[in-house]
């Protein structure tokens, strides 16, 4: 599998405050890679360092095996970028912004067409060559505008947050980039537009393009990402396929029962946890979070069927099972790391 983006030992400090430290990860061609973490974890610092919008202290960033530098215009013409906040010229119309953006990439589009016509004698494309874009830049722009329901006649200053984000999405995708880097891309989008956006990213993956998708919303990752990296306090603490991460996703269970003492004792006995204050066991188990009267709440990473079997022997008046928040899941992985 071909690596399109490789980050090696990236470190960035803001004075004495750590942004990221010794962060390394690789993205493969034709995948959607989710980069998740709570606000302030180092996601935007990583992305801005990759894009050379800020100077890194150390480390390297390779795009298609070549060091990505600030002045490498050709390489950056093959990258699409959506920042977490979109700032554009307020007095221009949406059409004016798109016309301006499109003009930057016309010469690269012509060069790509010329290169595409110069195929080898056997007619085969070189190994690792991304799929040929189905649309020209202008055609892609028109398609995106229609699907995102944008009015090109409106001025930037008159746009809502959601419409401004949609303009940013078009700017990131219209020139058919091989690598698409997106920082919190769905903020401001309504649920209908979010689904349209997810479909656009799936189509980019089908074309052989790569998406580096930064978010703090876990549900987005499970919907569209192939692999995921978890960042906390500027360090990558977990990376792997989404299924692997999701299989260990925590739930929080709240139980109300006249037998709550017996339930807590039985579950702690089964998982070898003596007290509610102990860190979660690395094997599937539970950790009591709180206890009030006949109600107990605990963190659980037992498989659902096993949990139900353990609880079936008791009389339960009320049970609530909630998906852990992203930050709670991070804390779980962080505590595991401290125990190693």
CATH number of the structural domain spanning residue 309: 3.30.70
- For residue 329, the model assigns a pLDDT of 63
Is residue 30 domain-shared with residue 60, that is, in the same domain?
Answer: yes
Q: Indicate the average pLDDT of the chain.
A: 84
The tally of domains found in the chain comes to 2
User: Does any domain span residue 340?
Assistant: no
Residues 255, 229 within the same domain: no
- Indicate whether 334 belongs to any domain: no
Q: 110 and 26 in one domain?
A: yes
Residues 196 and 296 in one domain: no
Under a CB-based contact definition with an 8 Å cutoff, are residues 285 and 301 in contact? yes
Of how many residues is the chain composed? Answer: 340
Q: pLDDT at position 68, please?
A: 95
> 257 and 119 in one domain?
no
Q: Are residues 88 and 165 in the same domain?
A: yes
The enclosing domain of 97 has a CATH number of: 3.40.50.300
Does the residue 328 lie in any domain?
no
Domain extent for 230: 3-245
Q: Does residue 128 sit in the same domain as residue 211?
A: yes
pLDDT truncated to tens, each residue of the chain (340 aa)?
899 999 999 999 999 999 999 999 999 999 999 998 888 889 999 999 999 999 999 999 999 999 999 999 999 999 999 999 999 999 999 999 999 999 988 777 765 655 555 544 444 444 445 555 568 999 999 999 999 999 999 999 999 999 999 999 999 999 999 999 999 999 999 999 999 999 999 999 999 999 999 988 877 888 899 999 989 889 998 888 887 765 556 788 899 999 988 887 777 665 444 344 333 444 556 778 888 999 988 888 777 788 888 888 999 999 998 877 655 665 666 565 444 4
**Rounded distance between C-alpha atoms, residue 167 and residue 82, angstroms:** 10
């Amino acid at each position: 599998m071909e690596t399109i983006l490789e980050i090696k030992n990236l470190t960035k400090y803001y004075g004495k405050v750590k942004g990221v430290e010794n962060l390394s990860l690789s993205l493969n061609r034709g995948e959607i890679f989710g980069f998740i973490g709570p606000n302030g974890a180092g996601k935007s610092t990583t992305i801005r360092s990759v894009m050379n919008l800020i100077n890194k202290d150390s480390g390297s960033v390779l795009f298609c095996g070549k060091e990505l530098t600030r002045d490498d215009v050709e390489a950056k013409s093959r990258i699409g970028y959506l920042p977490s906040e979109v700032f554009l010229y307020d007095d221009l119309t949406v059409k004016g912004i798109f016309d301006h953006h499109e003009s930057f990439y016309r010469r690269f589009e012509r060069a790509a067409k010329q290169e595409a016509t110069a195929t080898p004698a056997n007619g085969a494309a070189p190994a690792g060559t991304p799929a040929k874009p189905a649309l020209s830049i202008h055609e892609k722009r028109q398609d995106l505008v229609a699907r995102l329901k944008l009015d090109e006649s409106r001025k930037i200053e008159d746009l809502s947050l959601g419409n401004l984000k949609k303009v940013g999405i078009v700017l990131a995708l219209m020139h058919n980039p091989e690598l698409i880097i997106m920082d919190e891309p769905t903020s401001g989008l309504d649920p209908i537009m979010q689904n349209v956006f997810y479909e656009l990213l799936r189509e980019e993956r089908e074309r052989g393009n790569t998406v580096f998708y930064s978010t703090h919303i876990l549900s987005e990752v499970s919907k569209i990402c192939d692999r995921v990296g978890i960042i906390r306090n500027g360090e990558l603490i977990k990376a792997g396929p989404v299924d692997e991460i999701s299989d260990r996703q925590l739930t929080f269970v709240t139980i109300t029962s006249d037998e709550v003492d017996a339930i807590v004792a039985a579950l702690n006995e089964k998982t070898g946890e003596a007290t509610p204050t102990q860190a979660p066991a690395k094997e599937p188990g539970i950790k009591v979070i709180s206890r009030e009267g006949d109600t107990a709440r605990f963190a659980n990473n037992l498989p659902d069927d096993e949990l139900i079997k353990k609880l079936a022997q008791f009389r339960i008046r009320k049970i609530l099972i909630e998906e852990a928040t992203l930050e709670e899941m991070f804390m779980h992985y962080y505590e595991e790391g401290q125990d190693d």
